[in-house]
């Protein structure tokens, strides 16, 4: 009996050796090859493969992006700036005539609407301002620093185009507990001239620095 067991073990080991070394492959018995040479044979020009950089990879993720960016950078656009009072307009017009091509610019009559504020101030100190801010936060009322140095130290609780709109907001926040705010006119309606450049191409854009001193610190903005 012992001899039979030993014989079976020898045969089993011999069979495993033959199977693991591919000696039985012709009969359909063979382990899977980890190298998988058949897949290597299916590769097309594997030597041409290379690792892409992040920038190169992003182009394949969004192939239209470079073309769109290039188009946007070359596109013509409309720019405008103003308002200018009568004296500023006179100086600016002379500069435009002497520096920019005829037809590339136009001065148009325009108006800036009046602005009304719901306002608190002026306060006696910076500490008083901070104390009022904490109080307003507790009441759930938003605020901001006035865009007017003549109103500081103070707080703006909202800006409006009409006095009626400001009065409505004042009544609303009064119900929340705001007692010392009031409505003021931050500025009256202003009329003047606005510079418009209908089509600003690359050539015209390069010339705009020459007129900056006559823009009175105002920045060119996209046309609305």
Q: Cα separation of 4 and 1, whole Å?
A: 5
What number of CA atoms fall less than 13 Å from residue 116's CA on the CB side? 16
Q: Cα separation of 45 and 49, whole Å?
A: 8
pLDDT score recorded for residue 50: 55
What number of CA atoms fall less than 13 Å from residue 217's CA on the CB side? 0
Q: Is 87 exposed, middle or buried (0-12, 13-18, 19+ CB in 10 A)?
A: exposed
pLDDT score recorded for residue 111: 92
Q: Cα separation of 166 and 186, whole Å?
A: 11
Instruction: Give me the residues of the chain with pLDDT under 50, please.
Output: 34, 55-56, 58-74
Q: Give the residue range(s) of CATH 3.30.70.120 domains in the chain.
A: 75-111+191-222
pLDDT in tens, 127-138: 999 999 999 999
What's the pTM value of the predicted model, to 2 decimals?
Answer: 0.49
Per CATH, the number for 115-187 is 3.30.70
Per CATH, the number for 75-111+191-222 is 3.30.70.120
Nearest to 165 by CA among 141, 183, 191: 183
> Helix or strand or coil: residue 210?
helix
pLDDT in tens, 175-202: 999 999 999 999 999 999 999 999 999 9
């Amino acid at each position: 009996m012992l001899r039979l067991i030993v014989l079976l073990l020898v045969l089993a080991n011999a069979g495993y050796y033959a199977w693991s070394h591919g000696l039985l492959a012709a009969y359909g018995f063979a382990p899977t090859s980890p190298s998988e040479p058949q897949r290597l044979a299916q590769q097309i020009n594997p030597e041409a493969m290379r690792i892409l950089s992040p920038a190169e990879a992003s182009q394949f993720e969004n192939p239209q992006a470079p073309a769109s960016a290039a188009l946007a950078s070359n596109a013509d656009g409309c720019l405008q700036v103003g308002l200018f009072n009568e004296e500023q307009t006179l100086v600016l017009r002379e500069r435009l005539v002497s520096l920019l091509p005829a037809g590339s610019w136009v001065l148009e009559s325009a108006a800036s609407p009046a602005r009304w504020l719901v306002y608190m101030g002026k306060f006696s100190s910076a500490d008083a301002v901070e104390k009022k801010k904490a109080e307003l936060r507790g009441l759930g009322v938003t605020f901001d620093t006035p865009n007017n140095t003549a109103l500081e130290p103070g707080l703006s609780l909202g800006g409006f185009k009409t006095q009626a709109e400001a009065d409505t907001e004042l009544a609303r926040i009064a119900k929340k507990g705001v007692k010392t705010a009031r409505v003021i006119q931050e500025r009256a309606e202003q009329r003047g001239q606005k510079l418009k450049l209908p089509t600003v191409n690359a050539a015209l854009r390069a010339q705009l620095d020459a007129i900056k001193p006559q823009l009175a610190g105002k920045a060119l903005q996209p046309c609305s």
